[in-house]
Amino acid sequence: MKKLTEFLTIRRLVQIGFTLTTILIGIQFSIFVHQLQSGAEHVISRPPGVEAFLPLSALMSLKYWLLSGNFPMVHPSSLILLVIIILTAVLLKRGFCSWVCPFGLLTEFLNKIHVWIFGKPRRVWRWLDYPLRSLKYLLFLYCAWAILVQMNVPALEAFIYSSYNKVADIKMLQFFVHASPLTIKVLVALVLLSILVRNFWCRYLCPYGAMLGALSWLSPFKIRRNADTCIDCQECTEVCPANINVHTPKTVLSDECHSCLQCVEVCPVADTLTLSAPKRKWPIKPVVYGAIIVGMFLLTSLGARLFGVWQNNISIQEYRYHIERLHQYDHFRGKATQK
């Protein structure tokens, strides 16, 4: 158990590191937008990392890049980050969810409240759990169909270089800063549901999680159990936050496995549970796995900076123009609502 505690501390530090980075990016971007809106002569640098919250724009850019061969310089870091996240899923399963995603850290905190209230983790009935889990796949398939099937290159190009997409990051900020009563009610409802049902957002509604869950099937690395040395203590199943019966199969194939690797660390018999390739080749230690995840994000973002495809090419003057148009649109929309 001491070994598990030490490992959880390391994973938590990685999660907190990514979350603090996200918060700092949000603060810097908020200052950037405020300075633009106030007409300040000089503004701070816009943090490209804010584009991580534009997954649909990134998916459009990815398809456009693959079909046209042109790398779009509108929100380029959103495309870079999407590629990194896809690669982590294909190579290392859903490590993004349990090591990187700030919402994953929030979910784990809400899980603790859940256990504090109910005394132990509660499971949703299987007959209800499976239909609910399909919701996130339906959301993802709808978005994928609309973008990957319906949109051709001219349509993709028209959207990517549209005024709307160029300031999509600012619209996203305004959505949360000036949240409507309905938005606040929905967010509060999601928090309460996440306390009542562990991993509610991640398990049932997150379309990003659906994409990563589907891609994780391609990963050669999976949790594998040595049935000959397993003592059937079931400690691996007890610590699994995704409610997977780890102690039963020889290979965990579930799309809900987040690769948090708590099961590997809690196993009392050495090398009985491993994250490894088929035939238990190339096992990856949990701490090494975390280092690989962090390294992939750091090295790829550094490479994008060196090749000049991290920061977008939208000038400050163009941002001011689009912000003024947004202000005018919101002003007229407000008048129409009052009428």
Q: Which two tokens stand for residue 206?
A: 């997150």
- Dihedral pair phi/psi, residue 222, rounded to 5°: -145, 160
Alpha carbon distance 254, 140 (integer Å): 18
Predicted confidence at residue 336, as pLDDT, reads 42
**Using an 8 Å Cβ cutoff, are 293 and 92 in contact?**
yes
Q: Check if the beta carbon of residue 128 is closer than 8 Å to that of residue 223.
A: no
Number of structural domains (the chain) is 1
Alpha-helix runs per DSSP H in the chain: 2-38, 55-68, 76-92, 95, 102-118, 126-144, 153-160, 163-166, 168-177, 181-196, 200, 207-216, 235-239, 262-266, 286-306, 316-338
d(Cα 109, Cα 199) in Å, to the nearest integer?
10
pLDDT at 43: 84
- The long-range contacts involving 77-81, CB below 8 angstroms and separated by at least 24 positions, are 77/48, 77/49, 77/51, 77/52, 77/301, 77/304, 77/309, 77/310, 77/311, 77/312, 78/51, 78/52, 78/54, 80/300, 80/301, 80/304, 80/309, 80/310, 81/49, 81/51, 81/52, 81/301
pLDDT tens-digit readout, 187-227: 999 999 999 998 999 999 999 999 999 999 999 999 999 99
Strand order in the sheet with 273-277: 222-225, 273-277, 281-284
At 102, the amino acid letter reads P
Point out the residues of the chain with pLDDT beneath 70.
1-4, 326-339
Q: What pLDDT does 229 receive?
A: 93
Write out the residue range of the structural domain in which residue 78 sits: 2-338
